[in-house]
Amino acid sequence: MAFGADGTPQLEELELPRWLPRDDTYINGPYIVILYDDDYHAMDEVVEQLQKATGYDIEMCVKIMIEAHTQSRAIAYSGSEDECERCARVLRQIRLQVETDRT
């Protein structure tokens, strides 16, 4: 910690990135499903439902869940409008908050 001439502590303001960098090569369609963080579901519940909705492996589902948890939202799926609406319906089965959007 640095101190000023008068002996008071000088606080350094840090700017943190809003989003963690993530490889976006998984976005393969004109629509996306956005998963929002909530405080009602256990992490393993979210991962299980993500796997059911997307067909992704556990590792990818954990990455999506962690991103939603730490960044308040994450892109959970990408594809055609119909595919994204189906994915969103499955995620909503346990009342996860999601929305679909056009990229």
Q: Could you report the per-residue pLDDT of 14-55, keeping only the tens digit for each? A: 554 444 445 544 567 799 999 999 889 999 999 999 999 999
> pTM value?
0.74
CA neighbours closer than 13 Å in the CB half-sphere of residue 77: 26
Domains of the chain: 39-103 (3.30.1390.10)
Tell which residue, 53, 60, 48, 62, has the closest CA to residue 91: 53
Averaged pLDDT for residues 87-103: 96
Tell which residue, 15, 27, 16, 38, has the closest CA to residue 91: 38
Continuous segment of H or E residues that includes residue 59: helix 58-71
Q: List, in sequence order, the alpha helices (H) in 3-57.
A: 43-54
Contacts 24+ apart (CB under 8 A), 10-19: 18/71, 19/71
